[in-house]
Amino acid sequence: MSVAPEHPLAVFGHEEAKRVLRTLRAHTLLFTGPPRVGRRRVARWYAALLNCRAPQRGEPCGACESCRLFAATPEGPAHPDYREVAPERETKAGRRSRRPQIRIGDLVARDDAPNPLGPWLEARPRFRTRVGVIDGAESLSEGAANAFLKFLEEPPSYAVVILIAPSVQSVLPTLVSRSAPVRFGAVHVPAKLPEPHPAARLGRAGELLEAAAHPDAFSAQLAVVDRYLLGLGKGLEEALERADALEKAWSERAEVAELLRARLSAWPPERYARALHALGRCEEALAAYAAPSVAVQVLTLELRELVRGARGR
C-alpha cells in the first residue's frame, strides 16, 4: 500500500473487493456487507483511485492534489468530485428518527432540494470521475429509486454511483439489476484495547479503530453497560435509573447495543437466548417508535425478570 495505515485512504483487508474494483468498469456498483466492516472506506478509496493523478500498483498515491483533497478533513473527504448521501437518522431534536429515509429530493431535482445527487453527478468533474455514494441504499423508497433509475440507465461516462447496503436482498430489485455487486465480509483488525471489543468478533473494522482511537470513550461506554447490568439485581427504581443512563449512552452511540450484547453472552445459554430476544425486540421498538426511554425500560423489566428468575424467585 502506498499510504500509511492511519491515512484516511488506507483500507484494512478487503483485498478481493479492491481487486474486483480495479478491473470492473461499471458505472453503478452495489457494495453489500454488514455495517462497519469498511464499505464506505473502500468507496472513498475507490473514488480516490479513480481520480488519482499517479496511482501506484493499483493504489491511490496519497500525495497528488486529488488524493490530498480526499484526506483533507476528519469528517470525510472534501473532494469536489466526491459526495455521500445517507438517510436522515436523526430528527432535529437529535433523537433517532422513526424510519430513516433517503428522500427523492436528495437524488433528483425538486423544488425543495438544495443539491440533489443526480444533477451533481452530471456536472463535469474537476479531476476525472464524479463519484456519488448512497450509503443506506436499503432505505431508498420506491419513489426515490424510480426517480433515480433514469439517471442510472444513462449515466455520463465520467460518473460512478456506489450503493451501499447490508445485502442484495435489502435493495429494490430494479436497482440491483442495474448494478455490479461487490461483496464485503468481516475483516481482522489488530487493535490494542483495554478489553476485548465485540466488534473484533464481528469483524467491524470501523468500530474497532474508533474504539482504539478513543479508549476513554470505549471504557466509559463499557462502564455504563456494566453499571446497568449490575442495577438489574437492585431495586426497581435504581434499575430504571440506570436504564435511563444506558438509553442516553445508546442514543449517542449505537455501539452500546453491541457492548450490551457482548456482556449478555456471558450469561448461561438459555438466559442469554432470552435476553437476546428481549434486546432484539427493544431494537425493533427503537427503530419504529419515538419513545426510546420506554423501549429501554421494557427491556430492563424483561432482563430483571431473567436475573431474578435465575436467583430462584
Q: How far is the CB of 305 from Zn ion (least distance, A)?
A: 58
Distance in Å, CB of 184 to Zn ion, minimum: 24
Measure CA 41 to chain center.
Answer: 10
Closest approach, Cβ 54 to Zn ion, in A, equals 6
Rounded CA-CA distance 218/192 in Å is: 12
Sheet holding 180-183, edge to edge: 82-85, 130-135, 159-165, 28-32, 180-183
Helix or strand (DSSP H, E) at 260? helix 255-264
Nearer to Zn ion, 32 or 129 (CB): 129
Type of residue numbered 210: E
Cβ distance to Zn ion smaller for residue 64 or 149: 64
Helix residue spans in the chain (DSSP H): 15-23, 39-51, 65-70, 104-107, 117-122, 142-153, 173-176, 198-202, 205-213, 215-231, 236-252, 255-264, 269-288, 292-310
64 vs 294 by CB, closer to Zn ion: 64
Q: Measured from the CB atom, is 33 or 60 closer to Zn ion?
A: 60
Q: Are 186 and 55 in contact (CB under 8 A)?
A: no
Q: If we measure between CA atoms, which residue out of 193, 186, 195 comes closest to residue 210?
A: 193
Q: How far is the CB of 63 from Zn ion (least distance, A)?
A: 6
Q: Please give the Cα distance from 285 to 275 (Å, whole number).
A: 15
What residues does 29 pair with on adjacent strands? 162, 180
CB of 43 to Zn ion, least distance (A): 17
Instruction: Supply the DSSP symbol for 56.
Output: B
Complex with Zn ion: residue 45 or 267, whichever CB lies closer: 45
Looking at beta carbons only, is 49 or 85 nearer to Zn ion?
49
Min CB(11)–Zn ion separation in Å = 15
Residue 52 beta carbon to Zn ion: minimum distance, rounded to whole angstroms = 3
Angle between helices 205-213 and 255-264 (to 10 degrees): 100
Comparing CB distances to Zn ion, the nearer of 61 and 200 is: 61
Distance from C-alpha of 243 to C-alpha of 241, rounded to nearest angstrom: 5
> Considering beta carbons, is residue 69 or 303 the nearer one to Zn ion?
69
By C-beta, is 67 or 306 nearer to Zn ion? 67
Decide: helix, strand or coil at residue 159. Answer: strand
We find the least distance from the C-beta atom of residue 82 to Zn ion, in angstroms, to be: 13
Least gap, CB of 45 to Zn ion (angstroms): 11
Classify residue 165 by its DSSP letter: E
Q: Which residues bind Zn ion (CB under 5 A)?
A: 52, 60-61, 64, 67
Report which residue type is found at 310: A
Name the maximum alpha-carbon separation found in the chain.
Answer: 70
User: Rounded to an integer, what distance in angstroms lies between the CA atom of residue 29 and that of residue 161?
Assistant: 6
